[in-house]
Amino acid sequence: MINIAVLGYGVVGSGVVEIIKKNSVSIAKKAYQEICVKKILDIRDFPDNPDRDLFTKDPDEIFNDPTIGIVVETIGGIGAAYQFTKEALSRGKSVVTSNKELVATHGPELLKLAKDNGVNYLFEASVGGGIPIIRPLNRCLAANEIYSIIGILNGTTNYILTQMKKQGKDFEEALKEAQSKGYAEADPTADIEGHDACRKIAILSSIAYNEFVDYRKIYTEGITKISLVDMKYAESMDSTVKLIALSEKIEDGIVARVTPAIVSNKNPLHNVEDVFNSIVVKGDAIGEAMFYGPGAGKLPTASAVVADVIEIVKHWGTSSNYDWGVKEGNNVIDFGETKSRYFVRLKVEDELEARKAVENTFGNVEWVKACDISVEDEVAFVTACGFEKDHCNALELLKENKAVKQVANIIRILD
């Protein structure tokens, strides 16, 4: 029997305890041993909880207990979680977590600490909730040189965008509904500004390309500027707007970004709706594979945590951590030097002059109309593929033109 401790009895932590109790027989069969929750650390009291005897407020009760072999960290954030993870690994306990912020920030250090102590630091649940993605990337696609990852990695924003598209709700309204349903937090910043998706694509990229990708180097733009009018333009292009996180390994380094993007209905990500996540991986041997499932939620996420625990128990005594080489300098290519196509909406004083100005700066563009609605004093177009820096310069030039009042929005096209 292997004893584990759970740090943080929130949504995911309580889910871990629930699954380990509920599926104990089949879990023991798969892990070749029984797994038992011996301690739960939380600063709160749970007097009516059937497991109340397991709770403690003193982390040393866990760290000093030699019979506890695995620590599940479901506290979140990079404060206590960071300290406790270091402590546990240093004491020779494996750590399993769903904490994407901590992995994205201190992954290399914690992986090294795990390796040095002959234990494991696993984090399948940090990306894609219950969707198996980290282990498949690392193990099942191990024979591939992976060169691209494209995903919808945040359920909250995908729910909001789905509501906007399907129910015609505007951003604020859809956000409020997401909050009332528990899909968005009271402070939704990390989700709607793209920070959550950014950390996740950084983790996936680090695993896929076998080198640490620092999330702070990834250009990140949220969905707060997306309007119903944008949705109507996307519709006219047989597309929809999604928050897309992507990375690509090219000769000079790694291209990575998190932005809203116009996704064609020919792309399998087009149909990923509500709180679901989906990740498309491209490799030299497999071509393309896609993984789809619930990107968050108590039991899905907890089931990914427990799968990591089972993996450690099954291979008890062995240490097999991801190897994230930290490269000198910046391996993420400067955003200005990356390429994409832009969808641009301009508010105009003079439509004809504005169109001329657009073609003078961007060359040949594809003019677009919104579906079903007429938008006044506006022209919209899709540019050719070009460097971010050149697109930005071109937009600055356009803004100076008298025929143009303002740039209403720009959204990248997912090609």
Residue of 314, 339, 356, 402 that binds its own copies (CB under 8 A): 314
Q: Is residue 147 a contact point for its own copies (CB under 8 A)?
A: no
Q: Is residue 318 a contact point for its own copies (CB under 8 A)?
A: yes
Q: Is residue 321 a contact point for its own copies (CB under 8 A)?
A: no
Q: Is residue 105 a contact point for its own copies (CB under 8 A)?
A: no
Residue of 116, 288, 337, 377 that binds its own copies (CB under 8 A): 288
Query: Total binding residues for its own copies by CB under 8 A?
Result: 56
Quote the tokens at residue 227. Answer: 């309007």
Q: Is residue 386 a contact point for its own copies (CB under 8 A)?
A: no
Stretch in the footprint of its own copies (CB under 8 A) among 78-86, 216-224, 241-249, 297-305: 297-305
Q: Is residue 36 a contact point for its own copies (CB under 8 A)?
A: no
- In Å, how far from its chain's centre is CA 316? 30
Told to judge if 200 belongs to the known catalytic residues of this protein, a careful annotator would answer yes
Q: Is residue 285 a contact point for its own copies (CB under 8 A)?
A: yes
Output the smallest distance, CB 14 to its own copies, in A: 13
Output the smallest distance, CB 279 to its own copies, in A: 10
Residue of 304, 358, 379, 398 that binds its own copies (CB under 8 A): 304
Of the pair 20, 241, the CB lying nearest its own copies is at: 20
Stretch in the footprint of its own copies (CB under 8 A) among 287-295, 364-372, 376-384, 396-404: 287-295
Stretch in the footprint of its own copies (CB under 8 A) among 21-29, 67-75, 173-181, 352-360: 21-29
Rounded Cα distance, 121 and 89, in Å: 8
Bridging pattern class, strands 2-7 and 35-41? parallel
Residues 203-232 contacting its own copies, CB under 8 A:
210
Of the pair 302, 408, the CB lying nearest its own copies is at: 302
Output the smallest distance, CB 154 to its own copies, in A: 17
Active-site residue, selected from the candidate residues 39, 93, 200, 298: 200
Closest CA to 244 of 343, 341, 149, 151: 151
Closest CA to 60 of 78, 81, 87: 87
Q: Is residue 389 a contact point for its own copies (CB under 8 A)?
A: no
Stretch in the footprint of its own copies (CB under 8 A) among 79-87, 140-148, 176-184, 369-377: 140-148
Q: Is residue 155 a contact point for its own copies (CB under 8 A)?
A: no
Residues 230-259 contacting its own copies, CB under 8 A:
none
Quote the tokens at residue 47. Answer: 């007097």
Per residue, the 3-state secondary structure of the chain, as one string, reads CEEEEEECCCHHHHHHHHHHHHCHHHHHHHHCCCEEEEEEECCCCCCCCCCHHHEECCHHHHHCCCCEEEEEECCCCCCHHHHHHHHHHHCCCEEEECCHHHHHHHHHHHHHHHHHCCCCEECHHHCCCCCCCHHHHHHHCCCCCEEEEEEECCHHHHHHHHHHHHHCCCHHHHHHHHHHCCCCCCCCHHHHCCHHHHHHHHHHHHHHHCECCCHHHCEECCCCCCCHHHHHHHHHCCEEEEEEEEEEEECCEEEEEEEEEEEECCCHHHHCCCCEEEEEEEECCCEEEEEEEECCCHHHHHHHHHHHHHHHHHCCCCCCCCCCECCCCCCECCHHHCEEEEEEEEEECCHHHHHHHHHHHHCCCEEECCCCCCCCCEEEEECCCEEHHHHHHHHHHHHHCCCEEEEEEEEEECC
Q: Is residue 166 a contact point for its own copies (CB under 8 A)?
A: no
Looking at the chain, how many residues does it have? 415
Q: Is residue 124 a contact point for its own copies (CB under 8 A)?
A: yes
Output the smallest distance, CB 344 to its own copies, in A: 30
Of the pair 136, 386, the CB lying nearest its own copies is at: 136
CA atoms within 13 A on the CB side of 362: 28
Of the pair 27, 160, the CB lying nearest its own copies is at: 27
Residue of 2, 7, 12, 19 that binds its own copies (CB under 8 A): 19
Output the smallest distance, CB 384 to its own copies, in A: 29
Which residues does residue 348 pair with via DSSP β-bridges, in sequence order?
A: 404
Stretch in the footprint of its own copies (CB under 8 A) among 58-66, 94-102, 186-194, 283-291: 283-291
Residues acting as catalytic residues:
200
Applying CB under 8 A, the residues found at the interface with its own copies are: 15, 19-20, 22-23, 26-27, 29-31, 124, 130-132, 135-136, 138-145, 210, 268, 271, 283-294, 297, 299-300, 302-307, 309-311, 314-315, 318, 320, 323
